[in-house]
Amino acid sequence: MAAIQDLRMRPCPPMLSVPTNYRDVEVRLPPSLRRFGERTRVRITGNFDGPVVAALGGISGSRFVCRGENGEPGWWADLIGEGQAIDPAKFCVLGVDFAADPTGRCAPSSEDQARVLEAALEAAAIPRLHAIVGASYGGMVALSFAEHFADRVEKLVIISAGGEPHPAASATRELQRRIVALGIERGAGEQALSIARGMAMLSYRTPAEFGERFRGGIESENPLETSEPGAYLRARGDAFTAVMSPERFLSLSGSIDRHRIDPARIATPALLIGATSDQLVPPSQTIALAAELAGPTELHLLDCLCGHDMFLKQAASVGRLIKPFLDQRR
């Protein structure tokens, strides 16, 4: 498989509890996936001689798992760091930039993304993963990878992900995509993406959390006055446009709804973690997946105010389950 490698080790600015070395690998996508771009990139961080753990998150996740592009903490720094569940002093951590159609007209499947990960392993000369820790969309990709490349991964940690999309979640995402598509058509793609992201945040979190954090309602006669929770959603939506284009969002949001796996074909030992308050992946889906997987499976459902975003907002609780699972050797 053709690949362009960039394996130069680069020093990073010193920062507490974050690894100081990394290498980037440029991955040429297989011809069958070129509609999603010519190439993508992965970042390898931590102990280059240790067991390799791939860390995959939601559609806005990137290869900057431990440390950001400019030296700031990465998007999962609360789980991956010195003394944490995934310690870069012990593990080699692999982060991936998901492939997506830059025009927004085509959505990859979770199997397509699994093939992107397989291409990345080839490019980085990694024969086998110790584990994939996948949350949300990343959990879907992890499941698909284990279904199609079982000999290349020893363990799975699946957080807030099911074997297929829940119908209510698909309906919510379809409305978001319609808003973004209309925005692109009217020349207001970023504004539409901000609104869609605000809608998504309502499904990532819980009514209980909003009740604790904000006061509802508006004060004036102006129906477009911004409420307290509305201001928060505007801010989160506007921040999202800095890391996601409207077209890439359409491609990856659609990809979530193309996810389908056959649990009976997955025999890889798995740790499943879900939130009892998750509105996108209800506990019933996590329980069903645990019962249907062919391999040994450990299931935990945690009470969490933050719902689907538990893997980001309660990383310490999740990490206490992940650490012993990763430390066990077969």
Which of 78, 110, 259, 308 is catalytic? The answer is 308
Which of 110, 136, 251, 277 is catalytic? The answer is 136
Virtual torsion, Cα 11, 17, 18, 19, nearest 10 deg: 60
Pair of tokens at residue 274? 């879900």
Which of 78, 87, 101, 278 is catalytic? The answer is 278
Q: Kindly report the backbone phi and psi dihedral angles of residue 96, in degrees, each rounded to the nearest multiple of 5, phi listed first.
A: -130, 140
The Cα–Cα gap between 17 and 83 comes to 8
The Cα–Cα gap between 188 and 257 comes to 24
Asked if 81 and 36 count as a contact pair (C-beta separation under 8 A), the reply is no
At residue 104, the 3 state secondary structure works out as coil
Question: Which of 96, 119, 108, 141 lies closest to 261 in space, CA to CA?
Answer: 141
Whether 308 is a known active-site residue: answer: yes
The Cα–Cα gap between 232 and 72 comes to 23
Whether 60 is a known active-site residue: answer: no
Q: Which H/E stretch holds residue 310?
A: helix 310-313
At residue 134, the 3 state secondary structure works out as strand
Asked if 308 and 136 count as a contact pair (C-beta separation under 8 A), the reply is yes
| Phi-psi category of residue 112: left, alpha or beta, with phi > 0 → left and psi -120 to 50 → alpha | alpha
Whether 300 is a known active-site residue: answer: no
Virtual torsion, Cα 290, 293, 295, 298, nearest 10 deg: -10
- Helical spans, DSSP H, in the chain: 110-123, 137-148, 167-185, 189-204, 207-213, 228-240, 246-256, 283-292, 310-313, 315-327
Pair of tokens at residue 121? 């392993």
Active-site residues: which are they?
136, 278, 308
